[in-house]
Amino acid sequence: MTDAGAGPTAGTQDGPVWRSRRTDRRSTRTVRVRTSAVLIAATALAVLLVPPVVQLDQQAVDLSAKLLPPSWEHPFGTDDVGRDLLLRCVYGLRVSLLVGVAAALTATVIGTAVGACAGALGGWVDRVVMRLVDTFSSVPHLLLGIFIIALFRPGVWPVVISVALTHWLSTARIVRAEVLSLRSRPYIDAAVSGGASRWRVTVRHLLPGVLPHAALAAVLMTPHAMWHESALSFLGLGLPTHTASLGTLVQSARGSLLAGQWWPTLFPGLFIIVPTLAIAGLAGAWRERLNPRRRSELML
């Protein structure tokens, strides 16, 4: 009698525990998404509103106010030539976002086209394309990016080209795998049996199915492209030193950090990290929605 009564009690206890864990993970994911959305909104407002509202020249030099610590007048302090770091960080974020978004979109277009062609055509085309992808993937992105950018003069668009040409490989793999998965669906067989050409099947049926995954790849690639631009600019190979980007700001603050002034390095670094984490948080929630199996595993 005691054992018989103990079974239902244990079962009733396990149920609420399982539901509470799932609820806790849902609430954690909700908090993460909302926090990421707030940070992205704050970043967008700063980029769009601060330059028009603050009527100051971010290149204006004031040697009498150089390396001032954070204060009410200069919330982020000043750099080694007296320029306001808050304004410089906002302008640097604008440039880094431009590079990141442009490079991510370009790389996504290239990767989607290559992956769709490899998956739709199959055969020797698929094998040749994927061997080329594997060959390029074996070379470190930074080394290949340095080689590409060395062919151009320093500027925004050479950095965009360099980052785009080194970051389309993962998108090509994702799109190819999704195309191969879609080719086995019954409606694709029905379209082919109905006389649809391979081009029509690819454009009308396969590409719309992979676009959400390609868009997610572009979102995830944006912060990665920002980091890549920052690394190139930090090495002196990306944007010119007089151009305010987050990479050039960190690069120009190396001497100040060695002298004990921490703010010229800290705040540009935070402007790199915070948008990256915010975009990754929203992209993670989007990825869970695109992949219900992964989402159910996380909920359990």
Q: Where are the beta strands (DSSP E) in 220-272?
A: none
User: Hunting for tokens 């926090």 — which residue is that?
Assistant: 35
12-21, 22-31, 176-185, 242-251: least confident range? 12-21
Sequence-ordered alpha helix ranges (H) in 150-262:
156-166, 169-183, 186-193, 198-201, 207-234, 246-252, 254-258
Q: Of 46, 135, 134, which Cα lies nearest the Cα of 91? A: 46
Question: Is residue 110 over pLDDT 80?
Answer: yes
Which range scores top for mean pLDDT: 15-19, 64-68, 204-208, 266-270? 266-270
* Token output for 205: 């049926």
Q: What is the pTM of this model?
A: 0.77
* pLDDT of 166 strictly over 70: yes
- Rounded to whole angstroms, the Cα distance separating 111 from 18 reads 41
**Is the Cβ–Cβ distance between 79 and 65 less than 8 Å?**
no
Contact present, 230 and 143 (Cβ < 8 Å):
no
Q: What is the Cα–Cα distance from 89 to 66, expressed in whole angstroms?
A: 16
* pLDDT of 171 above 50: yes
Q: For residue 182, which amino acid is it?
A: L
Q: How far apart are CA 88 and CA 79, in angstroms?
A: 9
3-state secondary structure of 84: strand
Radius of gyration of the CA atoms of the chain, in A: 25
User: Among 104-108, 130-134, 291-295, which is the least confidently predicted range?
Assistant: 291-295
Q: 70-84 pLDDT, tens per residue?
A: 888 888 888 888 888
The residues, ordered by sequence, that sit 6+ positions from 272 with a Cβ below 8 Å of its Cβ are 96, 226, 227, 230, 246, 250
pLDDT for residue 298: 31
pLDDT tens for residues 11-21? 444 445 445 55
Q: Which of 83, 47, 80, 103 minimizes the C-alpha distance to 274? A: 47
Tell me the average pLDDT across 254-268. Answer: 82
Answer whether residue 109 shows pLDDT above 70: yes
